C-alpha cells in the first residue's frame, strides 16, 4: 500500500504517478528477492520440491477456487526464475518453503507492478486492462479438464494425421500420453511418501537400539529423494502405453514442454504459462492437468496457422460445426428437441432481397432465445489487456454475434407475423405478440478474462454503445448450465437474472460458473447480496462471488476419479414450493411457464412465506368452506405481489376471472407492476391447484380501481390458530404490524 508520504489523492495526476512508481518499485524488488533466492538454492531440486509440496496441498485440501488459479501461476513463476539456474553446482534445495512464501508475496507485487504502464487518467479503460492482466497472470483454465479434453478430442482429434505429420504427435495421442504421465506422477508421489516412512522407521529402530539419530544420506533421502523421484520417465509411462514412441514423447515436449532451451528464448514472465509441462533432465512433470490441456489446445490451434489453406478449408469449418452442434445439443437438453431450431434463414431487414441466418432459435412461449455462435480467437496481446487487440477480438466474437442476433430480433419485431426457414426450406411462422420476452445470446470459445460477465464495461472499447447487452457465455459453460439447471423456466430465469445484474452497473468479480452456482443457491436475488436490512451500506459498486463453486469442483473431481463424495447439484427451493413448481412445469403451457419464472423471482423471505401459506393449506385440507366462496391471501415480496386463493363451489371460468381481478386489484393497491396468482380448489379432487396467472404492467392511476378499493368489504376472519399476533408483521406484506393493518379490515374498521 502507498506510504504516508503519498500525495493527496485529490491531486489525481500526482497521486497516479506515485501509485505507478510505487508499483514498479515493489515489483522490481520482488523480482530481485526471488532471483537472489534462486541463485542461493539448488534450483532443480528446489523446483521439484515445490512441485511435490503443491501436490501435497492439492491432495490434502482439494482444488479450491483460489488454489486452482494461484498455485499453477506460482509454479510458473518459480519455473521462470529457477530454470536458468538448473545447471549450477551446490546450493541448498531445502529453501523451498522460503521460496513459496516469496512467491506468494510476488503475486501481489505483480498486481501493483502491472499498473506502471496504465493510463490511470482513463479509469474505465484502466479497469479493463487491470482485470485482463490480473486474470491472465493469476487464473488458469477457462473450463474444467473434462470439458477441455472433450474440446480437443472433438475439434482437433479428427485431424490426427495432419497434426502427427506436422508435430510428431496427434491430439488423441497427446491426451492419452498426458493421462499416463498424470497417473505415473501420482504413483511416484506415493512412492516418495513410502520412502519417507521407511527412512523414518529405519532411523527410529536404530535410535531405539542406542544408535545415532540419522546420517547425512538419510537426511538427503528425507528432504530431496521424494522430489527427485517425482517426475515421470518415458520408460515409466511406457508401462501404461507400451507402443509410445520417442518421437511422440519429444513431440509432446516440443508442444508444451518447458526446457532450459525454451526458457532461454522467453523474454516475458507470462510466456511460461504456455509451457506447463516441466522437463527436468529426461523426465517430465506437471502441476495442473487443466493448464496442460488448455496450453495444448492453444498450441495445436496456433500451429494450424502455419498452413492457412488447411486452417481455412478443414480446421475452421470443423470448429464452427462443433461449436454449433455443442450449443444446439445443450439447448435441447433443457428445452427439448421440438423447441430448438438450428441454422434458420430469414429476410434480412437491413438488406432488401437478401437473407441472413441465425444459428439457433429457442421457441418457448412466451420466451424466445436468439442465439449466435462465434469461434473466434483470443490473441496473447488481447489477453494481456492491449486495448486495440482486445477491442478487435471482442468485436469479432461477441460483438458480431450480438449484431447477428439483433438482426434476427429486428426481423421478429418487423411485423405482426414473420417467417424463418429451416435448411430444408420448410418454414416456421412466429407472431410478435406471442413473445414479449426476447433474449439475445452470444456464445464463444473464450470467456475473455471473465469480461463476458460484465459487458457494460466494454462500452469503453466501443462495444454495446446503445446500452443493450446480450448474455455472453462460453460453449463449455452453457453445457454445464444446461446439465444442472433442471428446467426451461429456471434457464429463462437465470438468463434474466444475469441480464439484470449486467444492467445494474455493479461490477462483478465472477466467472460464469461462479454466478451460476450462486444462482442455484440464491437465485441471484439482490436481497441475498445487498437489498437486505442486514446488509449495511446500501447498493454496492462491486460484488465478488466466491466459494459458490465448491460443490461443482467436487463433482468434477468425482468425475476425474478422485475419492470424494459426489454432491447433488440442483436448484435449491423449499419442498412445497418445489412441488408447485414441478406441477406448473409439467403443465407445459405458456402461462404456467411465466408463473414458474415468477416463483423463482421471489426472495428467500418470499419463498419462506409462500411455503408457510402452502403448509397452512395442507393442514386445513379438510376444513369446510361455505360454498360458493373464494378467499385470497395476498403478500408483497420486494417488487412482486403474490395472491394465493382458496375457492369452493365456483365454476372454473368464474375462478379464473376472479383470480385475475384480485391480482389486478392487489397490484394496484400495492403500486407494483409484477404479480402472480395461485388458485387452490377444494371441490376439484386430485388437483392441488387449477389456475395460475402472471401479471405485469406499469402502474398507472385508475379511477375504477380506486372506487373498488374504497368500497371493499372487510376481510373474512382467519382461523385463530393461523392468525398472526397483534404485534407481528401483517401477512399482506405491507411491513406494518397486524393490528394496524389487516386486523382492522377484518373487524370492519
pLDDT digits (tens, 9 = 90+) for 39-85: 888 899 889 988 888 776 555 444 443 344 578 888 999 999 999 99
8 Å CB contact between 362 and 492? no
Residue 689 has pLDDT above 80, yes or no: no
Residue 261 has pLDDT above 90, yes or no: yes
Question: How do residues 2-12 score in pLDDT, each as one tens digit?
Answer: 454 677 777 77
Question: What's the confidence (pLDDT) of residue 748?
Answer: 41
Segment holding 12, helix H or strand E: helix 12-40
Question: What's the confidence (pLDDT) of residue 20?
Answer: 84
Residue 696 and residue 702: Cα distance in Å, rounded? 16
| CA neighbor of 22 nearest in space, from 105, 111, 127, 113 | 113
Question: What's the confidence (pLDDT) of residue 535?
Answer: 52
pLDDT above 70 coverage of the chain, percent? 85
| CA neighbor of 232 nearest in space, from 48, 46, 96 | 48
Residue 684 has pLDDT above 70, yes or no: no
Buried b (16+ CB within 10 A) or exposed e, 94-120: bbbeebbebbeebbebbbbbbbbebeb
Rg (CA), the chain: 31
Residue 660 contacts by C-beta under 8 Å, 6 or more apart in sequence? 677, 693, 695
8 Å CB contact between 547 and 509? no
In this structure, the dihedral spanned by the alpha carbons of residues 108, 111, 115 and 121, taken in order and rounded to 10 degrees, is -100
SS3 of 416, please? coil
Residue 302 DSSP symbol: H
What would the grid cell of residue 561 be? Answer: 476419479
Question: What's the confidence (pLDDT) of residue 341?
Answer: 97
Question: How do residues 698-741 score in pLDDT, each as one tens digit?
Answer: 677 887 778 777 777 655 554 554 556 667 766 555 556 666 77
| Residue spans of beta strands (DSSP E) within 51-102 | none
| CA neighbor of 106 nearest in space, from 58, 35, 18, 39 | 35
Question: What's the confidence (pLDDT) of residue 215?
Answer: 61
Residue 271 has pLDDT above 90, yes or no: yes
> Among 78-87, 216-225, 530-539, 607-616, where is mean pLDDT lowest?
530-539
Residue 559 has pLDDT above 60, yes or no: yes
> Among 223-237, 262-276, 318-332, where is mean pLDDT lowest?
223-237
Binned at pLDDT 50, 70 and 90, residue 305 comes out as: very high
Residue 369 has pLDDT above 60, yes or no: yes
Residue 738 and residue 285: Cα distance in Å, rounded? 68
8 Å CB contact between 673 and 696? yes
Question: What's the confidence (pLDDT) of residue 729?
Answer: 67
Q: How far is CA 666 from CA 663, 673, 739, in A?
A: 5, 10, 20
Check the CA dihedral 85-86-88-92 and report its sign: positive
560-582 mean pLDDT: 86
Q: For residue 637, list its beta bridge partners.
A: 640
Residue 735 and residue 45: Cα distance in Å, rounded? 67
Segment holding 344, helix H or strand E: strand 340-347
| CA neighbor of 89 nearest in space, from 35, 50, 41 | 41
8 Å CB contact between 694 and 659? no
| Number of residues that this document lists for the chain | 749
Question: How do residues 174-215 score in pLDDT, each as one tens digit?
Answer: 999 999 999 999 999 888 888 777 777 776 776 667 666 656
Question: How do residues 74-130 score in pLDDT, each as one tens digit?
Answer: 899 999 999 999 988 766 656 788 888 899 889 888 888 888 878 888 888 888 888
614-623 mean pLDDT: 70
297-309 mean pLDDT: 97
Residue 149 and residue 141: Cα distance in Å, rounded? 12
8 Å CB contact between 646 and 625? yes
Check the CA dihedral 519-522-525-530 and report its sign: negative
Segment holding 606, helix H or strand E: helix 604-619
Residue 55 dihedral angles phi and psi, to the nearest 5°: -65, -35
Average pLDDT, the chain: 85
Residue 289 and residue 294: Cα distance in Å, rounded? 9
Q: Count Cα atoms within 13 angstroms, Cβ side, for 553.
A: 18
Report helix angle 604-619 to 575-587, nearest 10: 90
Question: What's the confidence (pLDDT) of residue 357?
Answer: 97
pLDDT above 90 coverage of the chain, percent? 43
8 Å CB contact between 111 and 134? yes
- Give the residue, 671 or 301, on which the prediction is more confident: 301
Residue 491 and residue 484: Cα distance in Å, rounded? 10
Check the CA dihedral 536-538-544-545 and report its sign: positive
442-464 mean pLDDT: 88
Question: How do residues 619-668 score in pLDDT, each as one tens digit?
Answer: 765 555 566 777 787 888 878 888 888 887 777 788 778 888 888 888 88
pTM metric for this prediction: 0.86
Question: What's the confidence (pLDDT) of residue 714?
Answer: 59
460-471 mean pLDDT: 86
Question: What's the confidence (pLDDT) of residue 206?
Answer: 67
| CA neighbor of 443 nearest in space, from 413, 465, 476 | 476
Amino acid at each position: 500500500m502507498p506510504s504516508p508520504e503519498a500525495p493527496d489523492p485529490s491531486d489525481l495526476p500526482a497521486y497516479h504517478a506515485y501509485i505507478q512508481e510505487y508499483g514498479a518499485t515493489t515489483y522490481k524488488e520482488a523480482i530481485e528477492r526471488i532471483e537472489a533466492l534462486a541463485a542461493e538454492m539448488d534450483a532443480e531440486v528446489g523446483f521439484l520440491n515445490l512441485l511435490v509440496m503443491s501436490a501435497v496441498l492439492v491432495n490434502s485440501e482439494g482444488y479450491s477456487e483460489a488454489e486452482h488459479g494461484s498455485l499453477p501461476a506460482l509454479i510458473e513463476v518459480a519455473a521462470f526464475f529457477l530454470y536458468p539456474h538448473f545447471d549450477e553446482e551446490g546450493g541448498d534445495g531445502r529453501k523451498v518453503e522460503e521460496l513459496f512464501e516469496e512467491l506468494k508475496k510476488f503475486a501481489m507485487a505483480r498486481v501493483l507492478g502491472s499498473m506502471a504502464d496504465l493510463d490511470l487518467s482513463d479509469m474505465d479503460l484502466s479497469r479493463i486492462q487491470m482485470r485482463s492482466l490480473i486474470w491472465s497472470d493469476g487464473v488458469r483454465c477457462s473450463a474444467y479438464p473434462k470439458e477441455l479434453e472433450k474440446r480437443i478430442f472433438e475439434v482437433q482429434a479428427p485431424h490426427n494425421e495432419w497434426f502427427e505429420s506436422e508435430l510428431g504427435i496427434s491430439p488423441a495421442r497427446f491426451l492419452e500420453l498426458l493421462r499416463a504421465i498424470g497417473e505415473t506422477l501420482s504413483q511416484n508421489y506415493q512412492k516418495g511418501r513410502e520412502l519417507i516412512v521407511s527412512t523414518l522407521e529405519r532411523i527410529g529402530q536404530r535410535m531405539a537400539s542406542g544408535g545415532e539419530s540419522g546420517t547425512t544420506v538419510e537426511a538427503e533421502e528425507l528432504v530431496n529423494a521424494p522430489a527427485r523421484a517425482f517426475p515421470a520417465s518415458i520408460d515409466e509411462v511406457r508401462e501404461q502405453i507400451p507402443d509410445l514412441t520417442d518421437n511422440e514423447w519429444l513431440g509432446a515436449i516440443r508442444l508444451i514442454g518447458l526446457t532450459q532451451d525454451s526458457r532461454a528464448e522467453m523474454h516475458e514472465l507470462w510466456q511460461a504459462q504456455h509451457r506447463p509441462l516441466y522437463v527436468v533432465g529426461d523426465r517430465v512433470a506437471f502441476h495442473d492437468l487443466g493448464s496442460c490441456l488448455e496450453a495444448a489446445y492453444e498450441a495445436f490451434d496456433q500451429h494450424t496457422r502455419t498452413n492457412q489453406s488447411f486452417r481455412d478449408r478443414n480446421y475452421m469449418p470443423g470448429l464452427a460445426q462443433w461449436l454449433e452442434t455443442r450449443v444446439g445439443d445443450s439447448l435441447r437438453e433443457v428445452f427439448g428437441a421440438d423447441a430448438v431450431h438450428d441454422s434458420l434463414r430469414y429476410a434480412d431487414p437491413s438488406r432488401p432481397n437478401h437473407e441472413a441466418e441465425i444459428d439457433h432459435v429457442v421457441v418457448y412461449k412466451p420466451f424466445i432465445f436468439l442465439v449466435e455462435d462465434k469461434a473466434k480467437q483470443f490473441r496473447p496481446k488481447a489477453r494481456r489487456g492491449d486495448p486495440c487487440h482486445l477491442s478487435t477480438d471482442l468485436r469479432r466474437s461477441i460483438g458480431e454475434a450480438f449484431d447477428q442476433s439483433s438482426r434476427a430480433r429486428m426481423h421478429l419485431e418487423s411485423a405482426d407475423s414473420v417467417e424463418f426457414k429451416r435448411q430444408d426450406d420448410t418454414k416456421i411462422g412466429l407472431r410478435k405478440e406471442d413473445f414479449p420476452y426476447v433474449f439475445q445470446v452470444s456464445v464463444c470459445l473464450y470467456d475473455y478474462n471473465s469480461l463476458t460477465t460484465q459487458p457494460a464495461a466494454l462500452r469503453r472499447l466501443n462495444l454495446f454503445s446503445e446500452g443493450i447487452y446480450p448474455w455472453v457465455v462460453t460453449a463449455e459453460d452453457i453445457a454445464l448450465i444446461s446439465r444442472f439447471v433442471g428446467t426451461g423456466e429456471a434457464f429463462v430465469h437465470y438468463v434474466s437474472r444475469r441480464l439484470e445484474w449486467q444492467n445494474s452497473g455493479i461490477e462483478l468479480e465472477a466467472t460464469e460458473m461462479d454466478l451460476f452456482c450462486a444462482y442455484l443457491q440464491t437465485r441471484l436475488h439482490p436481497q441475498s447480496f445487498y437489498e437486505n436490512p442486514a446488509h449495511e451500506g446500501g447498493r454496492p459498486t462491486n460484488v465478488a462471488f466466491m466459494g459458490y463453486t465448491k460443490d461443482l469442483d467436487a463433482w468434477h473431481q468425482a468425475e476425474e476419479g478422485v475419492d470424494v463424495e459426489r454432491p447433488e447439484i440442483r436448484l435449491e427451493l423449499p419442498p412445497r414450493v418445489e412441488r408447485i413448481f414441478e406441477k406448473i412445469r409439467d403443465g407445459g403451457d405458456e402461462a404456467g411457464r411465466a408463473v414458474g419464472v415468477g416463483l423463482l423471482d421471489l426472495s428467500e423471505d418470499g419463498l419462506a412465506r409462500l411455503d408457510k401459506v402452502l403448509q397452512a393449506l395442507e393442514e386445513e385440507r379438510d376444513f369446510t368452506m361455505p360454498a360458493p366462496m373464494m378467499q385470497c391471501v395476498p403478500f408483497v415480496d420486494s417488487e412482486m405481489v403474490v395472491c394465493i386463493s382458496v375457492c369452493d363451489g365456483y365454476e372454473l371460468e368464474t375462478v379464473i376471472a376472479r383470480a385475475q381481478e384480485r391480482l389486478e386489484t392487489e397490484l394496484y393497491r400495492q403500486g407494483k407492476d409484477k404479480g402472480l396468482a395461485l388458485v387452490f380448489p377444494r371441490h376439484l379432487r386430485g388437483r392441488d391447484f387449477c389456475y395460475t396467472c402472471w401479471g405485469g404492467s406499469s402502474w398507472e392511476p385508475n379511477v375504477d380501481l380506486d372506487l373498488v378499493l374504497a368500497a371493499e368489504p372487510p376481510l373474512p376472519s382467519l382461523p385463530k390458530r393461523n392468525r398472526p399476533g397483534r404485534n407481528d408483521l401483517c401477512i399482506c406484506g405491507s411491513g406494518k404490524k397486524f393490528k394496524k393493518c389487516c386486523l382492522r379490515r377484518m373487524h370492519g374498521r
